[in-house]
Amino acid sequence: MTHETRDITGMEGDLETFPLLDMLFWLHQTERSAVMRVTTNGRPAWIFFRRGQLYRCEWRTLRGVPALFALVLAETGSFWLSKRLLIEGSANIDVPTEELLFKCAILIDEHGAESAA
């Protein structure tokens, strides 16, 4: 009997089940190199990681940190994650990933507090 093994190169899901910030923390903590396509409000966004470091983000006309801050507030949508870096652009994020994810968490908390008020 022959056992075929496959290298899983990607995954997909929805933001209601897998919140974007949780996915970003996972990519950082596991030191993944990947590209993530997130579709929210009918528009695709791209987030790039290299060895766990978030180095590029694009959504609508936004680039870099402003794109990520706008995107991380999305509560609905879907994502597709690939270990294959299909496109590699130059970095447009120069903030350390750990600091950036912490700022995203604060932004989400503040947004939730505003929504509840």
Considering the entire predicted model, what is its pTM?
A: 0.85
Helix axes 20-29, 97-116, angle to 10 degrees: 160
Length of the chain, in residues: 117
- Which pLDDT value is given to residue 88? 65
DSSP-derived pairing of the beta strands 43-50 and 78-82: unpaired
CA distances from 92 to 39, 65, 86, 95 (A): 20, 8, 17, 9
Kindly report the three-state secondary structure assignment for every residue of 49-73: EECCEEEEEEECCEECHHHHHHHCC
Q: What is the pLDDT of residues 23-36, one digit of tens each?
A: 999 999 999 999 99
Average pLDDT of the chain? 87
Q: What is the pLDDT of residues 21-79, one digit of tens each?
A: 999 999 999 999 999 999 998 999 999 999 999 999 999 999 999 999 999 999 899 99
